[in-house]
Amino acid sequence: MNPEGIANAVVSVLAAAGTLAGVTSRQRRRRNEIKENLILAEELQKNTILREHTPAVAWLHGKIALDVAKLAGQPTGAPKKRIPKGGVAFAGFFLLGFGGWTYWLNRDGFVWYSLVTGALAASMLISIFGMTTNREIPSGEEDDLPEGAVPILTEGASASDEVVASVAVASMSSDGRYEDDGQIGVAIRFVRHMVAGEFHEAVELADSNWLLCRVQAWLWNAREHLDREEGQLSELAEAIVGAREDHELWSIFCEIEIEGFRNAWGEIDPNRLGGASRRRRVARDYDLVVLAPVGETHGFFVNSPTPIPGGLTLLLHKTDRGWLVANHVGVAPPQPGFPPAWWVVGDPSLQELAD
């Protein structure tokens, strides 16, 4: 028997066994790490500061999800372009050709003109290298974030990072506020209808008090043309809200409202709006919802009060019909009257009132 062959066979068997043992040990360690992180996540969830003011719990949940994906053998790497097999074959053919030519020219010693064929062979090798490496698809450039904001998903993030980010977003609020009928869901739907000019659909997502105050504000601004006393304006507002489509002034009111909201919110892309994860309760059955543009990112977090350009603040009211928009500019329900109070500093309708 060949001793060298026996030795090589033994080494191959030992190497395979070592590899298998390493994989098994790595999987066991990953399982144990997942179990420990699940326990740690439950403990972090009990910490109010970490839960409400930092994304620590979200990060840990994202890592757990990624580890489970690796344990299950799911691909989590960055998406890659396909290898152009035709181009590789074409370059490989010329690589062999020019490489063989170069070897043939130098078979009896180096000749200077073999540098030309050698350079061509080297260029083919570099081409093959370029087509088979660095195939990760780059992510789009992130939109500028507010000063002090940290993106959940950073630039150049891989598919595994996106898994972590999606779990992070989901874990930040699991109380239903992001559902279509939740506070944030209703707020985003309201903005989407207004931007699209779908005023009737938006009204269905608004509190009846909001609609009354919108009608009162419109009548107050048009009081010089209507030539009616305040008591008559109040009766007219009630009539418009009660009759809606059946009232002769309803369509005029809707057109003016659509134009106003489009002028104010026309630059907003509802599909790129995100809601603040921390719940903001201002009264019984009243929540404040903060919407902000997140661009191409999966969102961002802040550790201190941060001005958010393009952000919206809406007040939501829980009623028998579910969560409805109570105020789109203030932090309290509008107060009916002539003019109605929207609780906004600098409201031009209030500037001309007598003290």
**Residue 186 shares a structural domain with residue 280:** yes
Which tokens in the block code for residue 98? 């020019």
> What pLDDT was estimated at residue 20?
46
Segments forming the whole domain that contains residue 164? 19-77+156-171
Of 116, 145, 171, which residue sits at a domain end? Answer: 171
> What pLDDT was estimated at residue 167?
54
Rounded Cα distance between 214 and 349, Å, is 13
- Domain assignment of residue 149, yes or no: no
**Residue 112 shares a structural domain with residue 180:** no
- Domain assignment of residue 267, yes or no: yes
> What pLDDT was estimated at residue 223?
83
**Residue 183 shares a structural domain with residue 276:** yes
- Domain assignment of residue 138, yes or no: no
**Residue 216 shares a structural domain with residue 120:** no
**Residue 89 shares a structural domain with residue 59:** no
Domain count of the fold of the chain: 3
> What pLDDT was estimated at residue 109?
86
**Residue 208 shares a structural domain with residue 313:** yes
What are the two backbone dihedrals, phi and then psi, of residue 289, each rounded to the nearest 5 degrees? -115, 125
Query: What pTM, to 2 d.p., does this model score?
Result: 0.57
- Domain assignment of residue 91, yes or no: yes
**Residue 181 shares a structural domain with residue 323:** yes
- Domain assignment of residue 11, yes or no: no
**Residue 318 shares a structural domain with residue 199:** yes
Q: What is the pLDDT along the chain (355 residues), one digit of tens a residue?
A: 455 555 555 545 555 545 544 545 778 888 888 889 889 888 888 888 877 777 777 778 778 877 887 777 665 555 567 788 888 888 888 889 888 888 888 888 888 888 888 888 888 888 888 888 776 655 444 445 555 445 545 444 455 555 555 555 555 555 688 889 999 999 999 999 999 999 999 999 999 999 999 999 999 988 878 777 878 889 999 999 999 999 999 999 999 999 999 999 988 888 888 888 788 999 999 999 999 887 655 555 444 455 555 679 999 999 999 999 999 999 999 999 999 999 988 787 777 777 6
- Domain assignment of residue 143, yes or no: no
**Residue 162 shares a structural domain with residue 178:** no
Q: Tell me the residue length of the chain.
A: 355
DSSP of 116-175, one letter per residue? HHHHHHHHHHHHHHHHHS--BPPPPPPPPPPTT-EESS-TT--HHHHHHHHHHHHHH--S
Is residue 51 within 8 A of residue 171, CB to CB? The reply is: no
> What pLDDT was estimated at residue 23?
47
H-run or E-run covering 323: strand 322-327
**Residue 164 shares a structural domain with residue 32:** yes
> What pLDDT was estimated at residue 82?
76
> What pLDDT was estimated at residue 257?
95
- Domain assignment of residue 148, yes or no: no
Rounded Cα distance between 60 and 203, Å, is 41
How many other C-beta atoms lie within 10 A of the C-beta of residue 92? 14
> What pLDDT was estimated at residue 140?
46
**Residue 93 shares a structural domain with residue 189:** no
Is residue 124 within 8 A of residue 94, CB to CB? The reply is: yes
- Domain assignment of residue 115, yes or no: yes
**Residue 164 shares a structural domain with residue 197:** no
